Amino acid sequence: MEKKHVGFTGTLGFVLSAAGSAVGVGNIWRFPYLAAQDGGGVFLLVYLILVLTFGFTLLTTDIAIGRRTQKNAINAFGTIHPRWKFLGKLTFLVPAIIMTYYTVIGGWVFKYIAVYLSNQGAAAAQDGYFTSFITAPVAPMVFMLVFLTLTSVIVYFGVDKGIERFSKIVMPGLLFLIVGVTVYTLSLKHTAADGTVRTGLQGLKVYLVPDFTGMTVGRFLRILLDAMSQLFFSLSVSMGIMITYGSYVDKNVNLSKSIRNIELFDTGVALLAGAMIVPAVYIFSGTEGMKSGPSLMFVSLPKVFEAMGSMGRGIAIAFFLMLGFAALTSSVSIMETLVASCMAVFHTTRKKMCMVIGLISAGAAAVICMGYNVFYFEWMLPNGSQAQLLDVMDYISNSFLMPLISFLTCVFVGWVIKPRWICEEMEASGHSFSRSRLYAFMIRYAAPVIMAVLFLQSTGLGKWL
Ligand code: PFF
């Protein structure tokens, strides 16, 4: 049976657990390469504005729905309005899909921790190393299973003794590591083969200063959409996770303040990750090195660590450990959402659900691993990019379902139950909600329009209109 008093012990536990969900490979891997590819400071500026408007709106909506209904996503919408029950079910699909591939990526990160601990950094810097690893039949599955087992164990221990306790240790540690590694990379200097000297501070300039060369309306729109979809993924919104975590928060916790801190933590880590990675890649490979996109983390960075010389291995271990922890707290939040929802639906225990969902996830993730060998294919996605199985799942959850769910949630809150419903929850226990007017405007007008555009664009449907 679902227990009534499951929950975080206090504000700090909630903020760090939610930040744990939000801060993940998205911040440390995706954000820096998007910033590098989307004109540095231009992307940063756009992103910051979006966090304070859209990010804040979506995060507030999810957390307030969770706390007010005291239900996880699958039941929350139906409790508020029986006709909108379908939205809960639709939302449940997102963590279910993400779970299949996030553990695979987590496994890759664990592999690289093992690589550097066993001093094989030189091999990892060779061309083709990453590809030969992910296409191997057994190794990616083994690392995925280790990652998934750890995730399941943390979720098994429950909200306060598992998730909260783990996040309270890991999140401050992560912040410490990222600040340390960033300061170190910024202090670096390297002379390239052609004699040019590049420094960390020059790299920082590339990252921070807006680059408007070749900027057109089309390109700006592209940057806007990149920043928008990054924001969803990064804040873990519109996928039931924050609704579930919101349902674990005590009524007298100040939600406005907590939400501000979660935004700050998530954005702070992303900005720091960029300030660490963009200059590091710039120093050793110039601006060319930053065009590598998704392969940045597993292909370009090992080359950078190798070029760092004696310090490279220590920095690589710190980096991948940080990434591993960030990925773990995120996958814990995905699994918790699935487990909590299934516990409520099937009226069963956490222990049983952890085992069942752990097993199903292992099976599904194994299939995703095989997407690089047995089930290898190359598909063209509607947004024009080449995809394998993992990318297809990522595409369905992030580019298709998330904008759709966000759009429907905005319509539901903005026009059916009205923004006041959320504001009341934000003001519960006498707290003030200073951004209530901004919230109401965003949820009724700005957010649904942008979500609809994002949906049309990322599904390729926009071309037909
Ligand atoms: N927010 C996490 C990140 O930025 O990596 C990723 C994430 C966590 C995505 C949980 C989805 C999710 F359900």
Residues 287-296 have pLDDT tens digits of 777 766 667 8
Specify if 415 maps to a domain. Answer: no
For the CA of 235, the nearest atom of ligand 1: 1
Residue 434 above 70 pLDDT? yes
Q: Count Cβ neighbours within 10 Å for each residue of 68-102 and write b for 16 or more, e otherwise.
A: bbbbbbbbbbbebeeebbebbebbbbbbbbbbbbb
CA of 236 to the centre of ligand 1 (A): 5
Closest atom, ligand 1, to C-alpha of 99: 13
Residue with the smallest CA separation from ligand 1 atom 12 is: 236
Nearest alpha carbon, ligand 1 atom 8: 330
Q: Is the CB of 31 under 6 A from ligand 1?
A: no
Tell me, using a 6 A CB cutoff, whether residue 233 lines ligand 1: yes
What is the Cα–Cα distance from 133 to 372, expressed in whole angstroms? 10
pLDDT digits 0-9 by tens, 294-323: 678 898 899 999 999 899 999 999 999 999
Task: Say how far apart CA 236 and CA 243 lie, in whole Å.
Answer: 10
Any domain includes 420: no
The neighbouring-strand residues paired with 379 are 387
Q: Is the pLDDT of residue 126 over 80?
A: yes
β partners of residue 443: none
Q: Mean pLDDT over all residues of the chain?
A: 93
Is the model's pLDDT at 1 over the cut of 60? no
Domain contains 180 = yes
Atom of ligand 1 nearest to the CA of 29: 5
Q: Is the pLDDT of residue 187 over 60?
A: yes
The predicted structure's pLDDT at residue 5: 60
The confidence score (pLDDT) of residue 465 equals: 63
- Give domain status of residue 463, yes or no: no
d(CA 250, CA 247) in angstroms, rounded, equals 8
Answer whether 333 contacts ligand 1 (Cβ < 6 A).
yes
Q: Mean pLDDT across the stretch 54-80?
A: 96
Q: Look at residue 464 in the predicted model and tell me its pLDDT.
A: 65
CA dist 459 and 465 (Å) reads: 12
Distance 232 CA to ligand 1 centre (A): 9
The answer on pLDDT for 383 being more than 80 is no
Q: Is 50 exceeded by the pLDDT of residue 204?
A: yes
Ligand 1 atom with least separation from CA of 334:
13
Q: Report the percent of the chain where pLDDT is more than 90.
A: 80
| Measured CA distances, 371 to 100, 311, 413 (Å) | 12, 36, 39
More confident residue, 222 or 113: 113
Mean pLDDT of 100-125: 97
Q: Ligand 1 centre from 334 Cα, in Å? A: 8
Q: Tell me, what DSSP letter sits at residue 386?
A: E
Cα 322 to Cα 102: distance, rounded to the nearest angstrom:
16
Most ligand 1 atoms within 8 A of CB, residue of 34, 59, 102 to mutate: 102
Residues 386, 391, 393, 396, Cα dihedral to 10°:
-50
CB of residue 105 inside a 6 A radius of ligand 1: no
Ligand 1 atom with minimal separation from the 330 CA: 8
Please report, in angstroms and rounded to a whole number, the separation of the first and last CA atoms in the chain. 49
Q: Which two tokens stand for residue 61?
A: 């909506």
Cβ of 20 closer than 6 Å to ligand 1, yes or no, is no
For range 424-439, the mean pLDDT:
96
Q: Is 119 buried (19+), middle (13-18) or exposed (0-12) by CB count in 10 A? A: exposed
Whether 149 has a pLDDT exceeding 50, the answer reads yes
Q: Which residue has the higher pLDDT, 374 or 293?
A: 374
The verdict on the CB of residue 244 being under 6 Å from ligand 1 is no
Q: Count other Cβ atoms within 10 Å, centred on residue 153.
A: 14
- Most informative mutation of 334, 337, 401 for ligand 1 (most atoms within 8 A of CB): 334
Q: List, for residues 259-281, the tens digit of each pLDDT value.
A: 999 999 999 999 999 999 999 99
Task: Say if 413 falls within a structural domain.
Answer: no
Residue 406 resides in a domain: no
CA of 45 to the centre of ligand 1 (A): 22
Instruction: Give the closest residue (by CA) to ligand 1 atom 6.
Output: 24
pLDDT of residue 3: 46
From residue 226, how far is each of 32, 230, 388 by CA, in Å?
Answer: 12, 6, 20
Q: Is the pLDDT of residue 356 over 90?
A: yes
Decide if pLDDT at 394 tops 50: yes
Domain that holds residue 103: 11-370
| Residue whose CB lies within 8 A of the most ligand 1 atoms, among 21, 245, 262, for a mutation test | 21
Q: Which two tokens stand for residue 248?
A: 């674990």
Domains identified in the chain, total number: 1
**Residue 262, ligand 1, Cβ within 6 A:** no
Atom index in ligand 1 nearest the CA of residue 27 equals 4
Residues 79-100 have a mean pLDDT of 96
Instruction: Evaluate if residue 4 carries a pLDDT over 80.
Output: no
Give me the phi and psi of 199, to 5 degrees please. Answer: -115, 165
Who contacts 81 (Cβ-Cβ below 8 Å, separation ≥6)?
412, 416, 417
